[in-house]
Chains A and B, each alone.
Chain A
């Protein structure tokens, strides 16, 4: 059984479970819409100020939605006591981790598919294609780190508290480069995001074995 086939099987299983249980996606979509409505009413917005705060709203919502999406990745396995059965298959911990990160990233992408047009509708700000590319690239790196910390946090009692404490500081570079991509330095920012993605995917992949299996 190849690494890719195992990872895809785990991702498919997670997405099928989410599709049937509708545990995370509806809540995240609701969170996105509420965040946009609150922004609309909390700020005295005109066209200029809306364009100025839109990137901040985008990244704040992506960060907090990411905490929910990635937090559930391993919490569900823990609650169902199914992680040990997974680890005793020949799939290996890294393939399991990759599959779960893939599924969690897909959930966050679905949430972003509501968020990006939502910013256009609620704030009247259209995001350029390069901004969408920045969001996609950030999602990859955030998913790798978020799922790694989720696997770590799930082994502790205070997992809901631990995940944001671990993940948010480490996600800051994604916000920095992501925000830069929206403010006129897009090509360099996207190149930095791509390099960061490669780095964190490799590091998270190497660390996953020890986090999941020790």
Chain B
């Protein structure tokens, strides 16, 4: 079986500043990987490369067997990306937010209701996203990620603002899925039974393999 993620020598720079250097990462299908590291370690940058919303300056990246740069159009609808900000439309209700994305994914609108229910947001369905608490907005963003049942989940601090019930829900949601997520919380990595990949100053220390890759 092909790995879900194969990254070799991934490098990213912003102007002259090198933010990721020569990252090698392999994630098997069904595996969960937690990216840990201090602020500025490169977690979000690496996730953005994996989500194909940024292009690497150098290196090779294959996701779900496809080239992440040349075949990204074909790849994107198979990815579930949750950025650090929920990225919702505040004037639209929770249901309208999801229904809009259902339309773009070519899914029936009923899928929005299913996902709201799954995330415990049925009572908030008609409330504008702007009126939801930060934790409820995070749940709504997770619901949007779930809509099209992606094969590879890429989540940037998914537990951000979630209460204990929300974290439990997150655990159930990602169970059995291929997932890479960034977090500061090693406890979350344990809860989600994830292999830890630690980043430091744009380089990987792969604690999961108990081996310093670089």
Residue positions of A touching B, CB distance < 8 A? 1, 5-6, 9-10, 13, 16-17, 20-21, 80-92, 214
Contact = CB atoms under 8 A, between A and B. Distances in A.
Contacts of B53: 84, 87-88
Contact of B83 (A20, A84, A214): A84
A84 B87 contact: yes
B89 A88 contact: no
Contacts of B34: none
A85 B103 contact: no
Contacts of B126: none
16 contacts: A1-B106, A5-B103, A9-B100, A20-B92, A21-B90, A21-B91, A84-B81, A85-B81, A85-B101, A87-B53, A87-B76, A88-B76, A89-B76, A89-B101, A90-B76, A91-B104
Given A6-B103, A86-B104, A13 B83 contact: no
Interface in B50-91: 51-53, 55, 73, 76-77, 79, 81, 83-91
B71 to A, nearest CB: 14
B144 interface: yes
Contacts of A13: 89, 92, 100
B194 to A, nearest CB: 22
Contacts of B85: 80-81
B105 interface: yes
A9 B89 CA distance: 14
B60 to A, nearest CB: 19
A156 to B, nearest CB: 14
B44 to A, nearest CB: 12
Interface of B: 51-53, 55, 73, 76-77, 79, 81, 83-92, 96, 100-101, 103-106, 128, 144
A52 to B, nearest CB: 43
Which 4 pairs, one residue from A and one from B, show the smallest C-beta to C-beta distance? A81-B85, A1-B106, A89-B104, A82-B87
A20 B139 CA distance: 23
A124 to B, nearest CB: 39
A80 B104 contact: no
A21 B104 CA distance: 23
B55 A88 contact: no
A1 B92 contact: no
Contact of A80 (B51, B90, B144): B90
B103 A9 contact: yes
A88 B91 contact: no
B201 to A, nearest CB: 25
Contact of B79 (A81, A86, A88): A88
B89 A17 contact: yes
A83 B73 CA distance: 15
Contacts of B86: 81
A51 to B, nearest CB: 42
A81 B87 contact: yes
A210 to B, nearest CB: 12
B104 A90 contact: yes
A138 B87 CA distance: 33
A9 B104 contact: yes
Contacts of B79: 88
A88 B81 contact: yes
Nearest to A86: B104
B88 A82 contact: yes
A84 B101 contact: no
A1 B103 contact: yes
A82 B89 contact: yes
B87 A90 contact: no
B55 A214 contact: yes
Nearest to B48: A84
